[in-house]
């Protein structure tokens, strides 16, 4: 094992101990591996100039977006920090424009659920929307994690446990599904009694998006956005939504207030009689 491989392995162990998600760890590893190959220096000797040259290469030659640049810069900063190399301390993250996430209307969610005739697929979609769980949390759900309209999310993002809630009908559907299909450990398993993968869940969502004829992008995470937005539109407390989603900061949850404001504006413009009137210049009072 060469020196860089050993350093990289230790970095991945650190990320696991800090509770980073599998996807983030993979992204950070690939970014750091690529940087080390291009810079071709001992990681402890990498200086600020080399980092900036590499980031310019990513921006100009690979045409990375600001969002991707911010993620890769953060990966490098985190990596060098574990080596106590201060070279990246003064490198700023690129400014990333905040865009509102896509959200389904309640009618679109209903169409999606109605199209899922397969029991497992229907229940998968229903649990995603009724609880707002991340797809990584859904595939880890065990049979004994659900009790009395509560779901125990174990080792969610940041390795945090939390309790969320589920409506009575969905809980009954889950229990019926378990009785009929007898999964071994996890609620959603394949024929070999292994948990479904996040990719399988994504394919299920995409399949019924097409069947429902929904023009928007629909992913498990968009169902999570829809869960939070619909709760907020129905006057749920934003702090409660934060806890249900497992956000570490209220700032992350507050993006849904912007979506709700946009929803209210559209509702006003489509419903109020005066908002429908044509606008002409020099309108007389």
Active site residue: 28, 129, 208, 256, which one?
Answer: 256
**Annotation marks residue 272 as catalytic:** no
Distance CA 183, CA 140 (A): 13
Q: In what order do the strands lie in the sheet with 162-165?
A: 146-147, 150-153, 162-165
Tokens 């992913």 map to which residue? Answer: 219
**Annotation marks residue 111 as catalytic:** no
Active site residue: 72, 157, 186, 225, which one?
Answer: 157
Tokens of 222: 């968009």
Active site residue: 50, 81, 152, 221, which one?
Answer: 221
Nearest to 164 by CA among 220, 225, 241, 249: 241
**Annotation marks residue 165 as catalytic:** no
**Annotation marks residue 242 as catalytic:** no
**Annotation marks residue 224 as catalytic:** yes
**Annotation marks residue 54 as catalytic:** no
Active site residue: 120, 154, 162, 247, which one?
Answer: 247
Strand-pair partners of 142: 186
Distance CA 175, CA 170 (A): 9
Active site residue: 72, 224, 225, 230, which one?
Answer: 224
Nearest to 23 by CA among 203, 222, 157: 157
Active site residue: 126, 134, 209, 230, which one?
Answer: 134
Provide the annotated active-site residues: 134, 157, 221, 224, 247, 256
């Amino acid at each position: 094992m060469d020196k860089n491989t050993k350093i990289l392995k230790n970095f991945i162990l650190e990320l696991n101990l800090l509770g980073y998600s599998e996807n983030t760890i993979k992204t950070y590893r690939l970014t750091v591996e690529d940087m080390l190959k291009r810079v071709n220096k001992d990681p402890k000797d990498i200086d600020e100039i080399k980092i900036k040259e590499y980031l310019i290469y990513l921006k100009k030659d690979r045409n990375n977006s600001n969002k991707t640049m911010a993620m890769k810069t953060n990966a490098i900063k985190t990596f060098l920090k574990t080596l106590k190399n201060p070279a990246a301390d003064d490198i700023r993250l690129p400014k990333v424009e905040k865009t509102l996430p896509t959200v389904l209307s309640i009618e679109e969610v209903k169409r999606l659920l109605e199209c899922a005739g397969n029991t497992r697929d229907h229940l998968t979609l229903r649990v995603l929307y009724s609880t707002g769980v991340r797809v990584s949390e859904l595939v880890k759900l065990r049979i004994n994690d659900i009790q009395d309209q509560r779901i125990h999310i174990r080792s969610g993002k940041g390795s945090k446990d939390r309790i969320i809630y589920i409506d009575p009908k969905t809980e009954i559907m889950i229990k019926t599904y378990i009785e009929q299909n007898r999964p071994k450990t996890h609620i959603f398993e394949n024929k070999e009694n292994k948990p479904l993968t996040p990719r399988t869940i994504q394919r299920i969502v995409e399949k019924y998006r097409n069947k429902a004829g929904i023009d928007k992008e629909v992913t498990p995470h968009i169902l999570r956005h829809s869960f939070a937005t619909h709760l907020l539109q129905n006057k749920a407390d934003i702090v409660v939504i934060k806890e249900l989603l497992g956000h570490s900061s209220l700032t992350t949850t507050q993006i849904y207030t912007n979506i709700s404001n946009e929803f209210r504006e559209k509702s006003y413009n489509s419903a109020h009689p005066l908002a429908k009137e044509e606008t002409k210049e020099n309108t007389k009072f």
